[in-house]
């Protein structure tokens, strides 16, 4: 039984590492697109917010930094929290895009797709949190996660 439990933990950790790399790639790619193709991002910045070009550049830089930070163990948790905050911060742009699909010329997404995309922001937040280990106990100086009393006793 003990060997089976460790096998599942290994498989779970393998999945976490794989999805961490995928998340890092997604955020770095999206962040780079903020600089190589900024117009669509600028067009979905709500008009109440100042300087769309600056906001797009800053959010792109944070996406790149967060994506790379997920891959660097000492930065992983901070990068995860930063990406969670970023995903919350850009949510108004996603709502604005759903409300005003005409703001992005050449985009032929049906309105229902833009509205259906909104709950996916929560999925991204959960994914980033899990990949960054945000639900785990704080790490010690040696980089090992602390264990809860239930895990120590074998009941957790």
**Has residue 63 been placed in a domain?**
yes
Q: pLDDT for 21-49, tens place per residue?
A: 999 999 999 999 999 999 989 999 999 99
CB distance 102 to 45 below 8 Å: no
Look at residue 37 and tell me if it is in a domain: yes
Q: Tally the domains of the chain.
A: 1
User: CA distances (Å), 72 to each of 17, 19, 22, 107, in order?
Assistant: 12, 14, 14, 36
Domain assignment present for residue 5? The answer is no
- Which residues span the domain enclosing 84? 12-153
Strand runs (DSSP E) across 91-155, as ranges? Answer: none
Any domain includes 6: no
Q: Each residue of 52-100: pLDDT tens digit?
A: 999 999 999 999 999 999 999 999 999 999 999 999 999 999 999 899 8
Q: What angle do CA 138, 24, 156 make, to 5 degrees?
A: 35
Asked whether residue 3 is assigned to any structural domain, the reply reads no
């Amino acid at each position: 039984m003990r060997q089976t439990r460790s096998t599942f933990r290994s498989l779970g950790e393998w999945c976490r590492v794989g999805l961490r790399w995928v998340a890092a790639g997604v955020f770095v790619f999206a962040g780079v697109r903020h600089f190589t193709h900024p117009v669509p991002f600028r067009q979905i910045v709500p008009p109440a917010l100042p300087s769309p070009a600056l906001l797009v550049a800053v959010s792109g830089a944070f996406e790149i930094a967060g994506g790379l930070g997920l891959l660097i163990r000492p930065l992983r948790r901070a990068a995860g929290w930063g990406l969670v905050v970023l995903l919350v911060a850009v949510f108004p742009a996603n709502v604005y895009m759903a409300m005003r699909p005409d703001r992005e010329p050449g985009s032929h997404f049906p309105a229902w797709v833009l509205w259906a995309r909104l709950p996916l922001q929560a999925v991204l937040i959960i994914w980033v949190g899990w990949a960054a280990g945000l639900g785990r106990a704080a790490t010690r100086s040696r980089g090992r996660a602390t264990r809860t009393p239930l895990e120590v006793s074998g009941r957790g």
